[in-house]
Amino acid sequence: MVSNDRIPPQLIESARSKKTQCLVHQFLKNPQRDVSHHQGHDDDGVDDPSCPQGLEHIAEPGGTKDPRLSIIESDSAEHSDAGQVDEKSWKTALTRSRTELDLNGDQSHEDLHSRLLTKKQLSEMAWGVRELSRRLGSVRLKFRAKNIFILTKVYDQELIPKTREVTKWLLSKDRDVRYTVYLEDSLKENKKFDVQGLLEELGKDYVDAGELDADTAPAALRRRVRYWDENMCRTRPHAFDFIIALGGDGTVLYASWLFQRIVPPVLSFALGSLGFLTKFDFNDYAEILGTAFNDGVTVSLRLRFEGTVMRSQRKKQRLLAAGDEVDEEEFQRSRDLIEELIGEEKEDEHTHRPDGTYEILNEIVVDRGPNPTMSYTEIFGDDEHFTTVLADGVCVSTPTGSTAYNLAAGGSLCHPENPVMLVTSICPHTLSFRPIILPDTIVLRIGAPYNARTSSWASFDGRERIELLPGDYVTISASRFPFASVTPPGRRSEDWVNSISGKLGWNTRQKQKNDGYKQWN
């Protein structure tokens, strides 16, 4: 915890240039310098891709000179003067090459989480993300992608042929760019996908066209097919330029889980059951991908939360005035979580320590877990104690996740562009706990008090599940790493409204009969 008057962490200049950010996050950093020059988008120790480790150099986009250009084009020339006064200069700045974006001036520092920022810093960071998202929604981002990451449900036998079809399209001789395709490592031995057969088919096409000879074709194509695993996504996310997701909303959530920090732009095809996050029809994949790579894409930055588990530090046994030792378990139960979190902090006493941080796109849930009784939790916002909750749990959702668990728990529907945090109780034992919507500049803390009858459990996007013992809590704050989702231009609100109407049946009822207007007498 950092008080408002504490000096913000100082950023240390990097000893060597590091390319550790995707194109969208470079934009996020540079236009924000005038607003919040102290913000730094670190890479948490990510390896420098310009120094290959375990991969051949063909898969690496690094180097001191990056040939890819980041070009911003207005969707319509008629609206070139629309927007704020500085919007034209902002667009001009983003048309520069990545070298001109001062990549060599990147700063690196120790892991700086949003929960450690002061109120002013957190507000400026959140404002910068919102402003960039608003402006990116009205322009088209064009860049030269080479390393394509394909994410699909490998256990779904119906999606394997579609994944193979997209892979073949990307590796085809008809493409202007020789893409390097990254597939999940489990597809390497998948008989239905048949990598070897795919390479032979492509090699024959290249040989027939005279672009490669029969001897060099197999090796050349094999170098352009790579495989990824979860560790690579976490340690080398900057190795990928673009993500193609084939599946439903769960596949997109998995992409967010894989890329905990840097998230390359994600273009998702609707091959699931809901479709709140999947916007494109797979039947038109060739046209959609061709337009995306040749003409550019519209990117929406979706708010993510940063959740950190804080473990209570067990204090040493204290002595009574008479000199008798206090039972340690009894002393633990007598501690006051409210006093420790919002009371006056002693410099020589650290009551909690961090134990894992997660970036989530949907929600963070603190619930009773396998316990038969309700969970007893305390909710804090910044330096205030909000309330005490007796319920099955508490769901803190992003706007994107408002149609997921938040909806099932009775929370509000929220458009994904709203910069808010939705707090909803799960089966509270009260008549008055109403769902509440808070700004994204608040740092929430939800914990199990020391005198709780049972422990609680925290889950992050439904994947990681961690037990919270009495005295432990979870901090929730807006993440410095938003989720870059590719959207159809000009249809951001339309797609969302159509999803809740068509998928959830929002506000559907039988219409009244119309017998014609009759004047009432």
**CA-based nearest residue to 16, from 51, 55, 68:** 51
Short-list 350, 266, 342, CA closest to 24: 266
Cα–Cα distance, 9 to 122 (Å, whole number): 13
What pLDDT is attached to residue 63? Answer: 32
Least confident of 1-5, 402-406, 451-455: 1-5
The per-residue DSSP string of 20-85 comes to ---HHHHHHHSTTTTT-TT-----TTPPPTTS-SSS-GGG---SSS---BEEEEES-GGGTT-S-T
Cβ atoms within 10 Å of 318's Cβ, excluding its own:
9
pLDDT for position 17 = 39
Give the CA distances from residue 143 to residues 96, 257, 476, in Å, rounded to whole numbers and listed in that order.
11, 25, 34
C-alpha to C-alpha distance for 244 and 61, rounded to whole angstroms? 18
| Distances, alpha carbon 318 to alpha carbons 275, 346, 402, in Å | 57, 17, 46
Which residues are CB-contacts of 343 (< 8 A; sequence separation ≥ 6)? 336
Region 223-251 average pLDDT? 92
Q: At what angle do helices 159-171 and 195-208 cross, to 10 degrees?
A: 30
Name the average pLDDT for the chain: 78
**Distance from C-alpha of 517 to C-alpha of 243, rounded to nearest angstrom:** 56
Place of tokens 């099955």: 392
E-only strand ranges, 303-392: 305-312, 352-360, 363-367, 375-381, 384-391
pLDDT at 324: 55
pLDDT value for 56: 32
Name the residue with higher pLDDT: 330 or 102.
330
DSSP β-bridge partners for residue 227: 183
For range 294-315, the mean pLDDT: 89
Query: What element of type H or E holds 397?
Result: strand 393-397
Contacts of 437 (CB under 8 A, 6+ apart): 412, 414, 420, 421, 422, 423
Longest CA–CA span in the chain (Å) reads 94
**Do the beta carbons of residue 518 and residue 326 sit within 8 Å?**
no
DSSP string, 424-454: EEES-SSS----EEEETT--EEEE--TT-SS
Residue 316 banded pLDDT, cuts 50, 70, 90 = low
pLDDT of residue 506: 84
Q: Between 12 and 470, where is the model more confident?
A: 470
CA distance 384 to 445: 10
Higher pLDDT: 467 or 90? It is 467
Write the pLDDT tens digit of every residue in 100-109: 333 333 334 3
pLDDT reported for residue 65: 39
Q: Cα separation of 208 and 205, whole Å? A: 5
pTM of structure = 0.78
Q: What percent of the chain has pLDDT over 90?
A: 44
- Give the pLDDT confidence of 172-212 residue by residue, as tens digits: 999 999 999 999 999 999 999 999 999 999 999 999 988 88
Q: What angle do CA 41, 43, 47 make, to 5 degrees?
A: 150
- Res 138: pLDDT: 77
pLDDT in tens, 13-54: 333 334 455 555 566 555 544 333 333 333 333 333 333 333
**Of 479, 227, 217, 237, the residue nearest 360 (C-alpha):** 479
Q: Which domains does the chain have, with CATH numbers?
A: 140-302 (3.40.50.10330), 305-318+332-478 (2.60.200.30)
% of the chain with per-residue pLDDT over 70: 73
User: Using CB atoms within 10 A of its CB, is residue 469 exposed (0-12), middle (13-18) or buried (19+)?
Assistant: middle
Q: Model confidence over 340-392: pLDDT tens digits?
A: 888 765 555 678 889 989 999 999 999 999 999 999 999 999 889 999 999 99
